[in-house]
Amino acid sequence: MSSPQLYAIADFCLIPMGLPTPSVGPEIAEVQRVLEKSGLEYTMDRAVLTAHSGYGTNVEGPWDAVMKAIGDCHTAVHALGTPRIATDIRIGTRTDKSISSGGNDGKKKRVEDILAAEKQKQ
C-alpha cells in the first residue's frame, strides 16, 4: 500500500559554473523552458527579473514531479555545455492540511493582506 504523494513547494537556485563568460542568461532561460514543459506551477523570483536581491525559482506540485523537474533542469543546462552546476533548494511540505496547486500564492496573499492592514492603521 502506498501513501499519498506529498505536495511540495520548492524554491531553487540553479547556478551554472565553469562557463567562459559570467553571463548565465541563456542557461536560466533554458531552466524556465524546462519548467514550462513540466506542466508544474512555477514562478521566477521577482529578484531574478529586477536584480534587487536573491535569485531563484519557485516550483510546486507533487514531490516526485518537483524533484524530476529540478533534475531535468540540470540535464538541460548541462546539455548546453555547462560543465558544472550547483543548486540550492529549499522545500516545504505539509501534512496538517491539504494544499492544492497554487498553494504558494495563498501564502503570499496572506502576508500581503497583513502588511496592507498594518499600513491602513498608520
- Cell triple for residue 70? 529540478
43 sits in which H/E element? strand 41-44
pTM: 0.78
For residue 81, give the DSSP letter.
Answer: T
- Mark 18-57 as b/e (b = at least 16 C-beta within 10 Å): eeeeeebeebbebbeebbeebebbbbbbeebeeeeeebbb
Domain 7-121: give its CATH code.
3.30.70.930
Q: What is the mean pLDDT of residues 95-121?
A: 75
So where are the chain's domains?
Answer: 7-121
The 10s digit of each residue's pLDDT in 69-102 is 999 999 999 999 999 999 999 999 988 877 666 6
